Structure formats: structure tokens, C-alpha cells
Structure 1
Amino acid sequence: MQVQHLNQPTETSPYCSQANHPLQGCQQVTSPSPSQSNSVSRMALPETSKYSQGSVLDGVNPDLASERQTASFSVEKLTVWLDGGVEHTRTRRAVVEAIECDPVFSRENQYFQSQNERYEAAVRKAVHLHKKMHEMGWTEDGPEFKYIYRAVSGDIAFLLHRIFKRSILMLGSDQQIAKWIPLATQYQIIGSYAQTELGHGTYLQGLETTAVFDMTTQEFILNTPKISAMKWWPGDMGRSATHTVVFAQLYIHGKCYGVHPFIVQIRSLQDHSLCPGITAGDIGPKMNFEHVDNGYLLLQNVRVPRENMLNKFCEVQPDGNYIRRGSPQINYFTMTTVRISLLADEVLTRLMKACTIAIRYSAVRRQSKLMPGFLVKCLKAVSTGQPVPPSVTYLAAVKPGKCPAKNKSDFLCSDIYTEAYQHMAARLIISTAAKLQDLTQSGVKKHDAWNLCTVQLAQAAKAHCHYITVKNFAETVEKLKTEAGIQKIMKHLCDLFALHGIFSNAGVFLHDGYISGPQMDMVTSSYLDLLAVIRKDAVPLVDAFDFTDKTLNSALGSYDGQVYQRLYEWAQKSPTNTQMNPAYKRYLKPLLHNRLSKL
């Protein structure tokens, strides 16, 4: 069964026949009649070919089909609006068609691949994309470029190569641009971007890598003075890059002039071996991005010529004279723009995918039969005098009132905040039950009424659980009187837990005026005071869990806190650093030696 959007295309639309195996190529799909179309629906694509990923099942799940039949708007019009116009939609779909119809870009079975296999596939796709762009007439400044990486879904190498080029274009002089950009564009070199250090992320002024100017040789001597100064995480550095832009503290005649960028060669252009003074490798498995060779880099007396400092805004002259043109912060501009582009090119796309997956799944997922319980049933029992479990007896004692707290210290009294939770939970349960009753009395079926109240029901259930947790926590702490030191810290934790809940859910506590605005300010003040108090005991508290390092199996959470040393040691154990690079001979070497035609 093929489900149609409310607005269908008016002309034949070529697209990958994904109902068949992606390796089987593309086909032309016939459109519906003009009576089913409108002015912007010319870009619409047929449902089956657009959405099915080689499924052996026929048709669309009837639940999803039903959801689409009741749309109150034109899906195609919204797509065009999101794209920024019909031409943008047309271009994006053309790029997607070209990419998805090319078997090299297939993502089939990628989740079954090892780290090595995913890395090699990412390099293969990157090299093939270089050829594909030439064949298709796509350029980096053309309208198609921004859609390419969305179409290949990010599983591609050399993404940091783009940042390498951008750094040179933004921070390099005209002469440097003329020298390096053609080499990078033609992939005679492969670049990376080495800013982040193992011990320093966004605190750029604290970077520890040094570049000392040697006036006698007209070179900069770059060094990684300690483990925390190691460059850590740059993509394409682990096994692919031949060059990188290294950010280091510039020293001239013993004076530090702050962080500056330097072009550094890290691998031979002949055999891809590491250059003298360079220690580099892959940091090992991550929770994601297995296809990216995120790397580490140490420099030991690595010399680069004076001309390799990107000098559009600052320059070291042959006599050691330092000239600045512009703000010192200009050197951070590349990473700032990169992070902005990550939001648009990476984060937003992934969020869109996540929403698509979650919502489609929720439309077909089945839950258990309706069985009014998890509070509404107990409220009815209470109202008729029937016995209920001890955890909900508070529903029988609900009374209007106001929070009696007079100052912020009152909110450190467990009776005060426990009663606030009780009041809040009871109010939400009662109001939700009242809404259910109103709906059913107005003729709404019981099942539909329940579904209409699911948001409030979930809120009421969470409120009840939160109340019981606070109540039990406070009662347990009270029983620790014989352990004075332990009771004190546990009382602080109980207070923090309770006040954090009130602080984070202020609206439900303020809703009926039980807690006033000024009282909420008292809650906030006490909550912030507690953070400073508990901070002093944070490490001893987790030490009390008594996990061994072997049990934790975490470089970041080891008992001795030698985080950076362990991260480096673990990275060195990665099999990728002792195996032959699976992508070099087949892809990187021909690419770097400009023998693409022989691939």
C-alpha cells in the first residue's frame, strides 16, 4: 500500500528506488494526476521510494498511514519552507539522489563493522566524493555543497580537512593561501586542526603547547611540555592527516605572546610514516564516530619554518620583532565559526533524525491494556472511606493551606519541604482525576479520556514518586542519630535533593500559591548555599561507594585521578595504532600522489 501526502507531485520525479536494494540503481517514478497537485508539490517524491530502506515488507504501517491522512497542512509546502524555497529543495533532493544511487556511499551493514572497517569505509567515501564532485560539477562554493554531508550522513573522512583549509583562509596571508590551499584542494596534503589539548578544552589562553622562535635558523621549535598539553581529539589526525594547524603559545626571546597557529607536517608524503619528533595515533573507541580517526599528537622539538606561522593578523619578522594586526582573539575565530557550523550541519540534522525516529516509532508502538491504577483508583477509594496503601494515605488528609516558612533556613526543615511535596502531589492527583471525570461525564470514552490525560497523569505520578522519595529520605536520615557525622552529611544530601526538586519544578509549587514568590527565593538561596557545603564532601561521598578501578574500568574515574596519563596509556593500547593503516595503500597514497584515475 502506498500512502500519498495531501499534496502530490505534478511531474515525474527521478529518485533512488530504495524499495529495491540500493545497489540496483535508480528508476523513474510516475506521478499522480494534476488534480492532486499544487504549485509547490512539484518537488514531492513518492512515499515508498523516498522512505523505505530496502524493506522486504510491502506497504506502510496502517497506523503511520492514518497519521499522514489526517495532516492539517501541506507536508510539501513545509518542506520547501524549511529548505528556504523550491530551488533549495530541488537542489537538495538532486544531491540526495546522486549520493544514494551511488553504491560507494551505501551505509548498509555499517553497524556490524569494526572500527578499522568503518574508518576505511569513511576514507573510501571521502576519496570517492572528491571524484564525484568533479563528475557532477559540484564545487565547495556551489549551492549543492551544503547538502552533500547531510546526504552522506556524516560517515565520511576528511571533515577536519575542511577546517584546516578554513583556518588558512581565515588566518593566513595571501602568500600562505596561495601556497597551501591549492595543495589542500587537490589533496596533495591532508589537513587536521590541533587546538584542543588533553587538559584544556575551551580555555584557549591556557593551552600549554609551546612554539619558541629560533632566530638563528628562522624556525619555530614546537614542544608538548607535559601530558596535559598533548593535542587530543582532532579528527583525521589519528591515521589520515599529513599536516595540521597546531595552536601553541608563541615565545620570542623568552616572552610569551599568546596562542598562535602554525602549519606543521606530521607525516611523510612518501610513505605516510610519522615525521621526526612527532608522536601521534588514534585515541581508541568512542561512544560514537567510530569512523573518525580522532587522534592525539605530541611534539618534541619539532621545527617548522618561520613562514609556517599563519600571519594574516600577526607576524614574527626575521629579527624577532613581533607585529600584531587586529585583536588577539582573532586566532580563535576559526573554532568559533566551526562550533557554529557544527550546530547547523551536525547537531540540528541529528536532532531532526532523532525526532523522526522517535515520533514514527511512537505512532506504531503498542502499550498494555488500559488498567486505571499507578493513584486515581486510590483517590476514589479514599473518598468512599475504603482502605488504601500507606503510601497514599496522605490523599485523605489533603487540606488547603500555605507554606509556613518564614526564612531560608526554614526550608532546611524536613517537615516543611516534605509537606510541600505532599501538597503538590495531592493537588496534581486530584486535578487530574477531576479532568478525567469531566471528560467521561461529557461523553468521551474512558479509553480516549485516559489518553487525553496522559500528560497530567504522568506529571501526577512523578509528583507522587518524588514525594515518597523525599519522605522516606528524611525519615531514614532521622534514624541515623547514632552516627552523627554520617547523619550530618546525609541530612545535607536530603535537603539538597528536596530543594533541587522544588527549585527545578517551581511552577507546580507556585501554581496554587502554597509557596509564594518570596518563599521560592528562599528555596533558591538555601539550595545554592547547600551546593557549596556538599561540594567539600563530593569526592569522599563517591569514594564511599567503594568501587575498585577494575570495576569502574574508566580512565576518567580512576582512584588516583591521573586522568590524562591514563587516557594516553589507553589510547596507546588501541589496536589501530599497531596495525597497518587499512586505508593508506588503497586510498590515501593514490590520493596524495595524485593517482586517482587508477583507483
Structure 2
Amino acid sequence: MARVVEASAVARRCVADITAERAKCSFPQHEVTAVLDGGEDKTQQRRKIEELFLSDPEFLDAVRPEYLSHEDRYANELRKACHMIGKFNNDEEIQQLVGQMEGIRTLMGSGLGVALTKDGNPLALHFVMFLPAIMGQGTVEQQGEWMGRAWTGEIIGTYAQTELGHGTFLRGLETTATYDPASQEFVLHSPTITATKWWPGGLGKTASHAVVMAQLYTQGQCHGPHPFIVQLRHQDTHCSLPGESHAGEIGPRLGMNTNDNGFLRFTHHRIPRTHLLMKHSQVLEDGTYIKPHNNKLAYGTMVFVRVAICFDAYRQLQRAVTIATRYSAVRRQSELVPGQPEPQILEYQTQQYKLLPLIATVFGIHFSARSVWDTYNEVTGSMQEGNLDRLPELHALSCGLKALSSSDAAGGVETCRLACGGHGYLASSNLPRIYTTTTAAITYEGENTVLWLQVARYLIKSYREACKGHTLRQSVSYLTPQPASSSASPSNLSNHALVKAFRRAVSHLVAEAAARLQKGCDAGMIFEHAWNSCSVQLARCAQVHTRYFTCEKFLSGVERAEVSEATRGVLTRLCRLYLVFHITNNQGDFLRSGALSPQDMSALEGELAALLAALRPDAVPLVDAFDIHDRILDSTLGCWDGNVYHRMVEEAEKSPLNQKDVPDAYHKYLRPLMKANL
């Protein structure tokens, strides 16, 4: 009885702590929720979709996935994934709420999707990559042949590009597709072990078809990687097609182990000529190759996927920082003042320093990703009219933001886990799963270091054009050389002045890198070796440039938001924290360039502490404004009511080892050891 009373008292204290935090709120939370959702109508739509799916008992797990065998985990998530798609396709209410593409984005994303299929969705790449590839690269006739069957689930696809020996470097792909005019077929072949397709989700045991990227050979010439639709399994039995292709699962990964990541090898596998996706390039019956009007047309699909990764990254960070912030409001530890009651750990400045900048980061990624998404839609419209002028800029923006958001999110999730102490290591906290899911984005769809160097290439090219007097695109217009008088340290430290300081710092870094690159070339190095010799510096240019872009879009997003002054006030403080945090953590870039003075830095360091204190009362209200359902958080530490310890013990009791007092393993192994010398 004493234990029950004690537990009840602890629960009341935790609930009281979290309730007191919510009473401190200084802004209308629904306005922040609407900003992140894209409007109050979108918030209501999202909540309704969540209600329709989360109320369905088919999506409940009888036991935690961690307690299942590998095969049972896959079967359980596949069951839910198939039910999810069936429900989406057949429920008229859901169809009326959202269109097909928006609905799929919701179900496959890092919001509702992670609550329905916790350990990875085996059907994800079917919708996220296979269908968009056909839509973006197939002719009207090919779309008519494949899209309907794919939408209904008659066929299940994946996207097979990455190989055992090559990932981001597409030109290095080894899988070949050689055209045979006599039979009007392409012959797909994996000439080496490193040509094995490796990593595609759903490829192991789920997909019946794949869009395969392979080097196209015709009339004795290689025309580079092209997409082909390839059937992998028998339509009725799902058995592998005999002899010509071999697919399987690649084995356990750090996370997402029910994504069914697989491998694929071809042995002179034949497919019809018409299975080459021919929207941009074609092979005629006699083997004549018709090249695309512009090789940059393929950028569109990559940009779409990379922007989607940015949105997923900030949603994963939302979940992690919500868990850590709520837990920090109910966890009491140590003595801030000797003899006084243990304070909430959120009272410690060090804890605020870990978490509050991450709350700000959520908004920084949101506003910048929304900006790139809008630019993507504008450029896509221009592409339909044959105007590809802005594609290089869009490509650079999407590369940089994908790299920045995924690295910020992965690092931020790990910071949240550590901020929860030892309890953050528990699977029931959900922080380990969020981390293993988020960190994967650093390497898929373009490894981040490679993406930084692609951004750097665009920056150096733009800088050289500016030096020749050419007009630059808006995102890099700051690289145009400025008169010396405009380079002085700002007379004030307003938000706009700090964004301008970022511009100055990046411009200085790019100019230095360009000079070093040219010096290497002048010394007799070929360009590629000169580039490699300063690639660390070049990657740094790209990182600071993308951080500047994020700061600029954060500030403009807050200024344009249609919200009350109270909400604008808290968003402005978050933006200010984001600026000051990243400037004070990278002082060398600003001091060397003269963008800010040592006195400026001292002032900003002092302001950082004041910003943490000012935002502290709104910490829990801000993460509450993310409006994340407890089922989506799936965390004993981050639950809405703050009853952390009760939930932790409840989850521990569910362990299969706790279902009997003495495990069978005792009798088999431990007892013989303990009794051996008796």
C-alpha cells in the first residue's frame, strides 16, 4: 500500500509540474500550430486524418516491436502498411479530406506514418520513389500502363539506384542495360559483385517491380544511367523470376528494420524496349538513341525527394525535442541551492542551452523548407514551358538544405536523448528509434559531404561570374563584390544586421576558397586536384551559406506570418536565439571576415543567456504547440500528462522476461553454473 501511495504522490507531482508549465504560456498556441501546418484549415484536416487512422484498432501492436523476431516484425508492419493503403483507397471520408498525393505524404511521412508503422514501412518506396519516378520520367503512355496498377497495389514497386560499390556517384553505377535490336529488348546485367543493387527499401521481399537505374548501351555507345521498369517477381506467386535476377534482404540495420532494404543482381535479364522510361530520352526500335533536350531535367525528381527529407527531418526533431522538454519539466534532480527542494532540470541553464535552440531549429528548417518547396513549384511550372534557367540554383538550395536539416535533426535528436539522461537510452522513450531513423537521412538521397561540395561548386561558379560583372540569382546575389565602405561591422545588432553579418561571412569564405583554388591551379595542379586540396574549406562555405539562407528565411517567415503580436513576439525571440546561437558557436567566421567585432561577440554571448531565460517559460507551451498526438510521440518520457514514472514501470512490466518469475534459461544455463561446485 505504501508503494501505491508513494507512486500516486509522484504522479500528482509530475502532473502538477507539467500543468504549471502550461499556465506560463504567453501566446495563443493555436496560431503557432497553424503556422507550422500551413493554416488553421490544414490543422483541422491533419487532426481529422489522425483521428480516422489512430482510432482504428488494426494499427495497434499486441507487443512492442522490440520483442518480436525479425520475420514477425516485418510481417506485423507489412500487415499495418497494407491495411493503411486499403483504408486510404477505400474510405470516402478520407478521400474527401485530402487528395491522393497529400494523403500519401501524410501516411508515409514522419508524423502520422511513424505511429502506424513504427519500425519502417515496407511499402514506403513504392509511394515515395517508384510512383514519382514513373510520373516524372515516364511518357503519357507509360504512365497509363503502370500508374493505375501501382496506385491500387496490383503491383508493388521500389527504386533501385544505389549499388554495393557506388552510391551518390551516379556516373559510377555498374549495372548495364544493353539494347538488342533483334529482339527489341534491353539486357540487364550485373558484371561485378559491386554492381549489386543494395539498400532500396522494399526490394528484399516486398516489391514485385522496380525502377532500376542502369548504364544504357546501344549501338556500341554508353549513354549514362537511365531508368528502366523491371519485373522482379511472378505476379501470381510472388516467386523470384527464375535464373535471370536474384533479390533478397541485406540483413539487420541500425534502424528501420522492417523497411525490407534489399539487394538485387541481374544475369542477362531481358525486358522489353518500352520498359525504358522515355519521357526525356528514347531508344528507337533500330537502337537509335534520342537524347533529352536538357540533361538537367532529371533534377526535378531529386529536388522533390530532398525537400521531402527536410520536412521529415524537422518533424523528427519536433518529436524528440517535445519528449525531452516535457520530461525536463517533470524530472527533478540535484540541488540548485543546498537544502532546497530538487528543481526541475529545465531550470538549469545548461539544459535550456541544449533544448531551446533545438525548438528554434524546428522553425528554422520549417520556414526554409517551405521556401524551397515554393521555389520548386515555381521552377517546375517554368520547366513545363521549357525554361530551365533556375534549375541549378534550385538544385544547390535543395542539396544544401537537405544536408543541413538532416545533420541538424540527427544531432538534435541525439542531444535530446542525452538531455534525458539514462532514461533516454530506453526504447520506451522512443528517442533511440527516432535517432536511428533520422540519422539515416544523412547518407541516403545524397551523402551530405557530397552535397556540400555540390553546393560549393555552385557558389564558386557564381562568385566567378560575379567577378566578371554578371548578375547573379537572388540566393547568391550577396557574392557580388561590394565597395570597401560597405564592409564595416554593423552599427547595431538587430536581426537584420545579424543576417547581413552572415552574408558578409559567407562572401568572405567563398572569396578565400576561390583564391586558394585558383592558387592551386596557378601552381600547376589540375583543377580536380586543386579542388580536392581545398575541399574542407569549400564544404565549410556551403554550410555557412545554407545556414545564412535558413536564417534569412526564418526571419522573413516570422515577419510575414499572419499572427497576433504575442505570437510574433515569441517567434521573433526564437529567431533571435537561432541567429545568436549559430553566430556565437562559429565566431571565427564572423571575426575573420570583419562581419562582427570582438565587442559584438561579447554582447551576443551575454544576450544568449538572456534569451534562454526569456524563452524558458514558453518551453513546454511551444512544444505543445507542435500538436503531436501521444500515439505519434510513442514515448513514456514525453506523454502529454507528464505521468512519466508510472508509464516507465508499466512498460517495463510488459517485458516477456517478466511474464514468469524464473526464466527457462536459468534451468538450462545459470543453475548448472551456480551448482557446479556443490
Query: What is the TM-score of this pair, normalised by structure 1?
Result: 0.53
* 2:122 aligned counterpart, secondary structure: coil
Q: Which residue pairs with 2:71 in the alignment?
A: 116
Closer/same/farther in 2, CA of residues 222 and 145 from structure 1, 3 Å limit: closer
Cα drift, residue 257 of structure 1: 0.6
Contact 1:209/1:230, CA 8 A, preserved across alignment: yes
Take 1:191 and 1:239, find their aligned partners in 2: how far apart are those partners? Answer: 11
Give the letter for the 2:124 counterpart. L
Q: Which residue pairs with 2:87 in the alignment?
A: 132
Cα drift, residue 145 of structure 1: 4.4
For 1:105-254, list aligned pairs within 5 A: 105-107=59-61, 109-137=64-92, 138-139=94-95, 140-141=99-100, 144-149=103-108, 150-153=111-114, 154-155=117-118, 156-162=121-127, 163-254=129-220
Take 1:321 and 1:198, find their aligned partners in 2: how far apart are those partners? Answer: 31
Q: Which residue pairs with 2:614 in the alignment?
A: none
- Whichever structure has more helix as a proportion of its residues is 2
Give the letter for the 1:280 counterpart. A
Cα drift, residue 112 of structure 1: 2.2
Take 1:145 and 1:508, find their aligned partners in 2: how far apart are those partners? Answer: 39
Residues 272-314 of structure 1 show CA distances to partners (whole Å, capped at 9, x for unaligned) of 1111311111111111102210001111101111000000111
Identity of aligned residues (%): 38
Closer/same/farther in 2, CA of residues 90 and 60 from structure 1, 3 Å limit: farther
For 1:375-386, list aligned pairs within 5 A: none
* 1:272 aligned counterpart, secondary structure: coil
Give the letter for the 1:147 counterpart. T
Q: Which residue pairs with 1:67 in the alignment?
A: 21
Take 2:585 and 2:298, find their aligned partners in 1: how far apart are those partners? Answer: 47
Residues 102-126 of structure 1 show CA distances to partners (whole Å, capped at 9, x for unaligned) of 0111246233223222211221112
Q: Which residue pairs with 1:79 in the alignment?
A: 33
For 1:550-569, list aligned pairs within 5 A: none
- Worse-superposed segment, 319-328 or 292-301: 319-328
Give the letter for the 2:306 counterpart. R
Q: Which residue pairs with 1:290 in the alignment?
A: 257
Residues 524-559 of structure 1 show CA distances to partners (whole Å, capped at 9, x for unaligned) of xxxxxxxxxxxxxxxxxxxxxxxxxxxxxxxxxxxx
For 1:566-585, list aligned pairs within 5 A: none
1:324 aligns with 2:300: no
Contact 1:159/1:235, CA 8 A, preserved across alignment: yes
Contact 1:267/1:273, CA 8 A, preserved across alignment: yes
Closer/same/farther in 2, CA of residues 191 and 59 from structure 1, 3 Å limit: farther
Cα drift, residue 214 of structure 1: 0.7
Give the letter for the 1:349 counterpart. R
Contact 2:335/2:342, CA 8 A, preserved across alignment: no
1:94 aligns with 2:53: no
* 2:100 aligned counterpart, secondary structure: coil
Closer/same/farther in 2, CA of residues 214 and 91 from structure 1, 3 Å limit: same
1:256 aligns with 2:256: no
- Worse-superposed segment, 134-143 or 60-69: 134-143
Q: Which residue pairs with 1:299 in the alignment?
A: 266
Contact 1:95/1:148, CA 8 A, preserved across alignment: no
1:363 aligns with 2:324: no
* 1:77 aligned counterpart, secondary structure: helix
2:309 to 342, 348, 353: 342
Give the letter for the 1:340 counterpart. V
For 1:416-455, list aligned pairs within 5 A: 454=350
Give the letter for the 1:334 counterpart. T
Take 1:457 and 1:267, find their aligned partners in 2: how far apart are those partners? Answer: 53
Q: Which residue pairs with 1:418 in the alignment?
A: none
Take 2:160 and 2:107, find their aligned partners in 1: how far apart are those partners? Answer: 25
Residues 17-46 of structure 1 show CA distances to partners (whole Å, capped at 9, x for unaligned) of xxxxxxxxxxxxxxxxxxxxxxxxxxxxxx
When the two structures are aligned, how many residues end up with a matched partner? 347
Query: What is the TM-score of this pair, normalised by structure 2?
Result: 0.47
Closer/same/farther in 2, CA of residues 61 and 172 from structure 1, 3 Å limit: same
Give the letter for the 2:221 counterpart. K
Give the letter for the 2:122 counterpart. A
Closer/same/farther in 2, CA of residues 67 and 174 from structure 1, 3 Å limit: same
Q: Which residue pairs with 1:571 in the alignment?
A: none
Cα drift, residue 326 of structure 1: 2.4
Cα drift, residue 143 of structure 1: 5.4
Contact 1:99/1:152, CA 8 A, preserved across alignment: no
Superposed CA RMSD in Å reads 3.7
Closer/same/farther in 2, CA of residues 122 and 59 from structure 1, 3 Å limit: farther
Take 2:140 and 2:353, find their aligned partners in 1: how far apart are those partners? Answer: 64
Closer/same/farther in 2, CA of residues 356 and 516 from structure 1, 3 Å limit: closer
Structure 2: gaps spanning 5 or more residues: 1-9, 355-539, 541-580, 597-678
Take 2:353 and 2:55, find their aligned partners in 1: how far apart are those partners? Answer: 47
* 1:152 aligned counterpart, secondary structure: helix
Take 1:177 and 1:229, find their aligned partners in 2: how far apart are those partners? Answer: 28
Q: Which residue pairs with 1:278 in the alignment?
A: 245
Cα drift, residue 330 of structure 1: 2.9
Take 2:27 and 2:183, find their aligned partners in 1: how far apart are those partners? Answer: 69
* 1:222 aligned counterpart, secondary structure: strand
Cα drift, residue 191 of structure 1: 0.4
Closer/same/farther in 2, CA of residues 187 and 59 from structure 1, 3 Å limit: farther
Contact 1:220/1:306, CA 8 A, preserved across alignment: yes
- Worse-superposed segment, 172-181 or 330-339: 330-339
Take 2:285 and 2:353, find their aligned partners in 1: how far apart are those partners? Answer: 74
Cα drift, residue 189 of structure 1: 0.9
Q: Which residue pairs with 1:474 in the alignment?
A: none
* 1:241 aligned counterpart, secondary structure: coil
Take 2:236 and 2:76, find their aligned partners in 1: how far apart are those partners? Answer: 23
Take 2:172 and 2:212, find their aligned partners in 1: how far apart are those partners? Answer: 14
Closer/same/farther in 2, CA of residues 356 and 300 from structure 1, 3 Å limit: same
Closer/same/farther in 2, CA of residues 58 and 174 from structure 1, 3 Å limit: farther
Contact 1:260/1:331, CA 8 A, preserved across alignment: no
Contact 1:223/1:298, CA 8 A, preserved across alignment: yes
Cα drift, residue 454 of structure 1: 4.7
Cα drift, residue 452 of structure 1: 6.8
* 2:159 aligned counterpart, secondary structure: strand
Take 1:202 and 1:114, find their aligned partners in 2: how far apart are those partners? Answer: 33
Contact 1:510/1:517, CA 8 A, preserved across alignment: no
Take 1:305 and 1:516, find their aligned partners in 2: how far apart are those partners? Answer: 60
Residues 22-81 of structure 1 show CA distances to partners (whole Å, capped at 9, x for unaligned) of xxxxxxxxxxxxxxxxxxxxxxxxxxxxxxxxxx97896221111111111122222122
Q: Which residue pairs with 2:275 in the alignment?
A: 308
Cα drift, residue 517 of structure 1: 7.6
